[in-house]
Structure 1
Amino acid sequence: MHRSAAVMAWNVFKFCTALRGLGSVMILMVLGVVGVTYYAVVVNNYGPALFAAESMDSLTAFTVLLLFHGLLVMLLWSYFSVVLTDPGGVPLNWRPVVEDEEAGEAMPLANSEFSSQILNMQQSAVISDPGDPRIRFCRKCNQFKPPRCHHCSVCGRCVLKMDHHCVWVVNCVGALNYKFFLLFLLYTFLETTLVTLSLLPHFIAFFNDGEIPGTPGTLATTFLTFVLNLAFALSVLGFLIMHISLVLGNTTTIEAYEKKSTPKWRYDLGRRRNFEQVFGIDKKYWLIPAYSEEDLRRIPALHGLEYPKKPDPESSGL
């Protein structure tokens, strides 16, 4: 039993090490798919059609190219925002705030004797309820953990409001870049859907033995681009639907798995407020990977350390 557990731990460590090694390979793969798609849509098909003799073909090509480039800019902006934005780590010497029941106020945990007692408690007990406001401690990082914070074995540190570690963005998805990740999914779905629909006539003509201009190489590129974008559109749609439901319930992928063991989820404040904790209140910023200064000032959840909760019925006497 002990031997199998040790082997499993070793295998997991080996897997995490491999994920760290992917690094820029995944970024190059994403850029490669974008490059092939750009060649097939712009250079190969709709670029030449833009200067066609028939005005209808020219108008269609202009519309497709305009939408394609607009979505591509937003996709790459969102993608590199996820890649380059730190998802949020625990600040140095961060201490949780505990409630002083006698004084009726909150105070930061600072007393060394009390701290040692808390550490001993956390090292000997496992908190099973992710909605429980008790003090949490990470044994791997040897530090206190803010609410909704989890340790990432790939990054080797605790990440604020960690959702998951994504190999496609070579980064953790957490409190500070979760919105950017969702926008990346949205624009990827819209872009791949546009490409699929725009190349569909060429794909149908390929199997109907229709006359298609171009060399065998360009036709193969168009065929490959259609298949790739169709596959990405279908797979990303599933992830997008899943994450929309998580946002509306104010939970993460990890928390959705954890809270199966508890009926309470104190962070669910209603769909609108849950949405605002990820995207902010300013509507002008909802569809771009950025936040207004006003939102950053007014919404503590965007910083990843504090989250408003529903009142506990037991403590309020309800």
Structure 2
Amino acid sequence: MSKFNIRGIVKRCDDYGKLLNRFCGPIFVGFATSLISLIAFTYFTIIFPATTSLSGLFSIFNFFCDLSISLFLTYGIYFNYIKAIITKPGYPHLNETSSSINVLYSLVYNNNDNDIINKESETIIIDNVTWSYCKKCSKSKPPRCHHCSVCDRCILKMDHHCPWIGGCVGFYNYRYFFLFLSYLWVSVCYVLTHSLPLLFGGGGYLYSKRFTEIDRLLVIISSIGSFITFVAVGSFGGFHAYLIGSGQTSIENLYPPKKRPNYSLSSIKDNFEIVLGKGEYWFSGLLPLNYVPSGNGCDFKLNPSQNHFKNENENRNKNEIKGSDDDENSNCKNGDKDSISENDNLISYDTDNINSK
């Protein structure tokens, strides 16, 4: 089997994988919603009443505190999960009539919409922000913006494509996604603290005549599901807590340390406030409330120790613009020495004359 056939097979498998991921999103969302709802139903109808009976309802105050915490956590899960799904992650938009865009297209296009020059290195500064060029959707994109192969479009401050929400996690819905993980993890911990005494203690209370076989089965399934969620979401959520605290995204964390731009602010607290928001109280950013992150998703402050990234981008941009102007002047002066092929529409430049400039 030739190398080209292998590449074709790999590409086709990759395309099928993206297609499967795109159409299976609702299935993942439905499964997650069903599992969460099953655990919540079992907790409020079986586990919570049973643990209340075991404790002897020694305090009305404790009962209402326990119930209030349970209801609050449940609301936090559903609110943040729904918001993470329905909130768009954010997409780069530019004013097509602005002078900056005209300059960009004069650099990218050479009098032919299908002839794109130097896609890999094409950059331009727009509102003091260095934008690059996306080869897949043929549009410019700001820093920290990446093209999602599943959604088939660029995402502002893209973190990853999550099948559990049926879309991408980006600038506008990252807070809801992280809070969903946080509330879910705390909730399954809360469920386990109530269900484990029923399973392994209480003098076999769960196996008394008060409970049916279906009740016992639901408690066992909910406990197993809660434990698996505790481990999986705990690991994943802990990783995202580290990313937020260090000012990174999942994609940026894959970069080699020396090539990774540092967007971390002066403190971990500031990094969390950028994502979760800053309110009157320290816990305001953790509340399940509507929130629009500050900024436009295009301009991010670099750590002062990383300003060389910005300076390098600005210098490279200036050199590209200057080089483009020099090439244009050189082509005009040496137009009679250029050979133009009418069949292939290719322009071969007199490199000796250009280099002499």
TM superposition shift of 1:23: 3.4
Question: What aligned pairs does 1:144-293 form with structure 2 within 5 A after superposition?
Answer: 144-205=140-201, 211-212=207-208, 213-257=210-254, 259-260=255-256, 262-270=258-266, 271-283=268-280, 285-290=284-289
TM-score, normalised by the number of residues in structure 1: 0.80
Q: How many residues are matched?
A: 293
CA distance in structure 2 between the aligned counterparts of 1:92 and 1:280, rounded to whole angstroms:
26
Aligned-residue offset at 1:153:
1.1
**Structure 2: runs of 5+ lacking an equivalent:** 124-128, 313-357
Whole-angstrom distance in 2 between the partners of 1:167 and 1:255: 20
Give the residue type in structure 2 aligned to 1:241.
G
* Alignment equivalent of 1:78, drawn from 74, 77, 80: 80
TM-score, normalised with respect to structure 2: 0.72
Structure 1 residues not aligned, in runs of 5+: 97-106, 128-132
CA distance in 2, matches of 1:40, 1:256: 39
Report the CA distance shift for 1:264/1:22 in structure 2 as closer, same or farther (over 3 A).
Answer: closer
Q: 1:53 to 1:308 in 2, by over 3 A?
A: closer
Alignment check: 8 A CA contact 1:164 1:253 kept? yes
* Residue in structure 2 matched with residue 43 of structure 1 by the alignment: 45
Mapped to 1, the partners of 2:51 and 2:202 lie a distance apart of 18
Residue 306 of structure 1 and its aligned partner are, at CA, apart by 1.1
Aligned-partner residue type, residue 310 of structure 1? N
| Residue aligning to 2:31 | 29
Equivalent residue for 2:109? 116
Give the 3 Å change call, closer, same or farther, for CA 126–215 of structure 1 in structure 2: farther
Distance 1:292 1:167 in 2: 23
Q: Which residue, 132, 136, 150 being the options, matches 2:132?
A: 136
Over the matched positions of the two proteins, sequence identity in percent amounts to 23
CA distance in 2 between counterparts of 1:94 and 1:281 reads: 34
Letter in 2 for 1:304: G
AA in 2 matched with 1:272:
K
Residue 310 of structure 1: which of 303, 308, 311 is its match?
303
Verify the 8 A CA contact 2:198 2:204 in the aligned structure 1: no
**Does the 8 Å contact 1:50/1:62 carry over to 2?**
no
In the alignment, the residues of structure 1 paired with residue 122 and residue 101 of structure 2 have an alpha-carbon distance, to the nearest angstrom, of: 20
- 1:14 equivalent to 2:16? Answer yes
- Equivalent of 1:89 in 91, 107, 112: 91
Counterpart of 1:184, as a letter, is: F
Contact 2:130 2:142 in 1 (8 A): no
Q: In 1, Cα distance between the equivalents of 2:171 and 2:139?
A: 19
Q: CA RMSD in A?
A: 3.2
8 Å Cα contact 1:109/1:115 also seen in 2:
no
Which deviates further from its counterpart, 64-73 or 203-212? 203-212
Contact 2:42 2:218 (C-alpha < 8 Å) held by counterparts: yes
